Each structure stands twice: as structure tokens, then as C-alpha cells.
Amino acid sequence: MQKDSDAFTLTINGSIETAEYEDCSALAAKLMIVFKKDKDTCNWEIMNGNDQCTTQLSHRMRGVRVSESFAFNQPFFAALRGSSAHGWPQLCFSFMGPDMFGRNIPRGYAVGHVPMFPGSYTIELPIFRPKATSMMQAITSFVQGHHTEFKNPSHSLAHNFGRDRVRTKTHGFITVNLTVALGPG
Amino acid sequence: MAELFLIGQLKGGIGFSQPELSCKYSLVLGEAWKVVDGETEANTQVDEGLPGEMCTWSCPIDVHLTTESVNDWPKLVFEVWSRDRFGRNDLAGYGVCNIPYNVGNHQLKVHCWKPVGNALERLTELFVGGSVVLKRPEIILNSDDREDLVTRPTGVIELELNVLANGFEAVDGIER
């Protein structure tokens, strides 16, 4: 349990393990650790490590739950310092991969909180992708290769407002292994 | 003054008959409770799930509350809406969820229901669409008033909630 006035450190050691995603030949993931900062009541800052990491482009294998599976095995590390539990860090993923013409297109997003209690975890997060608003836009984006995406994914994913205008479709899952430690600030 | 942190995620809905679903949630607080930081209500996006799997909302919940009393402990109230292929929004279920008292990580499931109308309304719903909704939504929260209501189950909302509490030793009515 965290006291509001006392700062504490959160150490995250993790690895982006695998993903399953339907109808896609290759996939890469980008991770952003998003937290609330620069507020009087709560401020988080990164002490060590990185708040971003990008995986390699993985080719597909046969999937178990959906048609294709991908392996990344990409480790990441971050040590954060927080003053309040509010604004707890979230793992925001965005995915991209080549389409049938070899153009790199956005493949979806996933978001989840870093576990709040020390321990080792395997987290599975669903990957969803914004849909085109009309049939016309769907055709244009397929031809031009400019697909619907979040302009500022870390902001759109880590907050709960402004989502009601978005239509999405779930396409797969990402699996992340995490070890979390808490310490005094 | 005691503090309560509710941090988690509205993960998604499973078992609903309609494929495209969105959810509106709000945190209902008593008079003694105050919001320090965070949003207490939100609308999720409309998501189409994989066949037989959960539809994804992945909507973060992160609220910092203070209270002087443990009365009217917060509750989460949900309204699930479906969207059909003509773009019409229709009620897919109501639900309510108690926030656990104990500190820790909680995986919660909310079994949703929706009112069943009379024979004519059911026939209209089958052929035209559009379902009966509650005239007084406060009935979702009340423990009385429900005896005349006829409902049917629609699906399950899954959410993850971490509860952190601080200073409840000093508040009347609860011992830790």
C-alpha cells in the first residue's frame, strides 16, 4: 500500500513475448510506458531505462487462437518514481506491419496497466484497430495505404475520454511477461 | 480523511449476442466522497470482437477519492450498447458492480441484464429492432423497487480493479 505523500519507485523488468493477429504476414510492436506527470497531486518520472521500445519485424507462424502468431522476445526495463498511485503507468502498444503491397501500415493498439503489486506476471492484452468510418474511406485507405490510426496513440489509449466516437475491431492478442518491484523513493 | 485509489481497466464484454458493443460506465459516489483526480465516467469505443471471444474496450479507470465516511461505498454502474449494421444503437444490458473493500487486485465480472417488454414489444424488437429501456435508471442501483421488473441475461462485463486504501483506520465505521 502506498502513502500519498511518500514517493516510491516502481521497477519494471519485462519482455514482449508473443502476439497473435489474424490475416497479417509480419508484425512489429512499439511499446510506450505512459504515466501521469507534472501535476501537483501526482507526478511520475522515469529514473532509469526507457519508456519506449520497438521490436523487430516478426514473420508469421500458425496461430492457436487466431490464424497467425508472431514471436518478439524483446526485453525492456524501466525504473520509475511516483508520488501517488494515481496516474499509474500503463503499457501502450501500437503495432505495424507490411500489407500485401509491402507498405508499412498500422495494425492496431493494446493497452493495460503495469501490475500494482510486486511479483511476476504474464499479461495478455487484446489488440484492437480503429475501423474506417465509411465504406468509401475503407476503399481509399486500402488504395492509398493510409489506414485509420490514432494521431496520438499514447494519449488516446491511456485516457478514458473521447473514445465514444471511435469504432474498432479486435484482431488478436499480445502476451507480455513482467516482473514488478516496489521500493521506497 | 481517508483515501481510496481505484485503478484498473474495463477490459471488455463477452457473451453478448450482438457483435459490436460499447459500454458507458460511471462511478456512483455518496455525499461524503470527493474526487481528487481522475474521471468518474466514460464511454468506450464501439468494438467488434473476434468470434466467440471478448469484445475489447481496454478502457482505463484511474480515480483518486477521499472520504470521511465509509457509507455509500462507491459502485460502478454500466450500460452496454450495441450497434447494428444500419448504425443504430440499441441497449444491450445494464449492470452494477460493488467495489471491493479489501486492498488488492480484483478480477471482476458483471452479469448484465436487460428488461423484457410485453408480447408486442418483443415482437417489435425481433423484427424492427429497438429494445425497451428503463424509465428510471436508478433502479439499477436500488436494492428495493425491483420486484415488478422482468429481465433476461445478456452477457458479462469483465474488468480488472486494483484497490488501494490509506487512512481508513481513522474513519468511523470500519476496522482494519
B14 interfacial to chain A (CB closer than 8 Å): no
**pLDDT for position B174:** 55
B3 interfacial to chain A (CB closer than 8 Å): yes
Smallest Cβ–Cβ distance between B54 and the set A39, A126, A168 belongs to A126
Q: Give ipTM to 2 decimals.
A: 0.86
The answer as to whether A165 is a domain residue is: yes
Kindly give, in sequence order, each residue whose CB lies less than 8 Å from that of residue B168, ignoring residues fewer than 6 positions away. B2, B70, B174, B176
The answer as to whether A2 is a domain residue is: no
The answer as to whether A49 is a domain residue is: yes
**pLDDT for position A171:** 94
Place of cell 504474464: A122
The answer as to whether A34 is a domain residue is: yes
| Domain boundaries, position A150 | 8-184
Question: How many domains are there within chain A?
Answer: 1
B 141-160 near A (Cβ less than 8 A): 160
CB-based contact A128:A108 (threshold 8 Å): yes
* pLDDT (tens digit per residue) in A128-145: 999 988 889 889 888 888
| Closest Cα in chain B, distance from residue A42 (Å) | 9
A59 interfacial to chain B (CB closer than 8 Å): no
B48 interfacial to chain A (CB closer than 8 Å): yes
The answer as to whether B128 is a domain residue is: no
Residue of B nearest to A111 (CA): B58
CA separation (Å) from A66 to A105, A131, A166, A170, B155? 20, 19, 24, 11, 23
B 18-47 near A (Cβ less than 8 A): 20, 22, 36-39, 42-47
* pLDDT (tens digit per residue) in B108-136: 999 999 999 889 988 888 888 888 899 88
- Cross-chain Cβ contact B44/A126 below 8 Å: no
**pLDDT for position B110:** 96
| Domain boundaries, position B33 | 2-112+154-170
The answer as to whether B148 is a domain residue is: no
DSSP assigned state of A141: H
* pLDDT (tens digit per residue) in B69-97: 888 899 999 999 999 888 889 999 999 99
Question: How many domains are there within chain B?
Answer: 1
CATH number of the domain at B65, please.
2.60.40.150
Q: What is the count of residue pairs from A and B with beta carbons less than 8 Å apart?
A: 121
The answer as to whether A1 is a domain residue is: no
B163 interfacial to chain A (CB closer than 8 Å): no
* Residue B139 neighbours by CB distance under 10 Å: 15
**pLDDT for position B159:** 95
Q: Quick one: which of B96, B110, B120, B89 has its CA closest to B18?
A: B89
The answer as to whether B140 is a domain residue is: no
- Cross-chain Cβ contact A90/B60 below 8 Å: yes
Mean residue pLDDT across chain B: 90
Copy the grid coordinates of residue A150. 490514432
Q: With cut-offs at 50, 70 and 90, classify the pLDDT of residue A2.
A: very low
CATH number of the domain at A89, please.
2.60.40.150
The answer as to whether A17 is a domain residue is: yes
| Closest Cα in chain B, distance from residue A81 (Å) | 17
**pLDDT for position B127:** 87
